[in-house]
Structure 1
């Protein structure tokens, strides 16, 4: 767990800072794997690079999952809807951690099996399995986003919207109600002066 003094004051825990690494890495991993599959023999280390990226994805998914379990204690869950969304998010996060780290182990083992490395068909199957890790990653992200943006978990109110009856909060902005009153008064006085 990251000590509080290392976190910015606007973040309730380390999870929001860590959670985006596996999301970014999975797309980079799949792109590198697609390039390695397309280039084949022309990129001799392509499978190793893609496997290393998948390993980084799996490790970051583990860190993200455990940072999320520690984060639960730092934010209030006050509605049943938020609790249900948290439960769903937690399930998919666990499944994402298991699938990405398990897939990384499978890819690493495949590097040491000569017939897996040599056959393009084996690489295609491994690539398709890698694409499958996007499903739990997507579900985890959808439910995590719903917790923040729909349920308001971990979000504090940082600014107040001024009411319409109060003067403009910013001195550089003109108060439109006062401007409308001035223009109405100006037009009525010009009407009174004209014969």
Structure 2
């Protein structure tokens, strides 16, 4: 658990700061794996790089999951809807941790099996399995976002409504008054015609 003095004052726990690492890493890992699949032998260490990124994804998913279990004690769950969303979020987070870390172990083992490492068809199958890890990752993020933005879990209202104040003078009105002053006062009714006929 991260000590409170290391956290910004606007977060209730470390989970919001950790949870985005596996999300970012999984996309980088899949992109690197797709590039390695496309280049083939032209990128000799492509599978190693992709496997390392998948391992980092799995490790960060483990840390993210357990930081979430610790974070439950720092927030208030006051509605049945929030509790239901939390339950779904926890389930998908566990499934994400298991799938990403298990897949990372599978990819690491494949590096030591020659026929898996050299066959393009095996790489295609492994790449598709890697894409499959996006499903629990997406569901975890959807439920996590719903907890914050729909249920308001872990959110504290810090903004205050400003006190009512007199509105600022209308600049358009000031300009109009200025133009009227420059043009001079409007003559009274009837006086303009008599003034025009005077010698």
| TM-score interval (norm. to shorter) | 0.7 to 0.9
- What's 1:4 paired with? 4
| Partner in structure 1 of residue 77 of structure 2 | 77
Q: Give, in angstroms, the shift of residue 162 of structure 1.
A: 3.3
Structure 1 consecutive aligned stretches of length 4 or more whose deviation exceeds 6 Å: none
Total equivalences in the alignment: 180
Corresponding residue for residue 22 of structure 1: 22
Report the Cα distance in structure 1 between the residues aligned to 2:73 and 2:89, rounded to whole angstroms: 15
Relative to structure 1, the CA distance from residue 144 to residue 194 in structure 2 (aligned partners, 3 Å threshold; closer, same or farther) is: farther
Larger Rg: 2
Choose the corresponding residue for 1:167, options 165, 168, 174: 165
SS at match of 2:66: helix
Matches within 5 A, 1:132-151: 132-151=132-151
- TM-score (normalizing by structure 2): 0.85
Following superposition of structure 1 onto structure 2, how do residues 184-195 of structure 1 map, counting pairs within 5 Å? 195=189
For structure 2, which runs of at least 5 residues remain unmatched after alignment? 178-185, 190-199
Q: In 2 relative to 1, CA 48–193 (structure 1 residues): closer, same or farther, beyond 3 Å?
A: farther
How high is the TM-score relative to the length of structure 1?
0.86
Shift of residue 161 of structure 1?
Answer: 3.0
1:77-126 residue CA offsets vs partner (Å, 9 max, x unmatched): 11111111000000000000000000000000000100000100000000
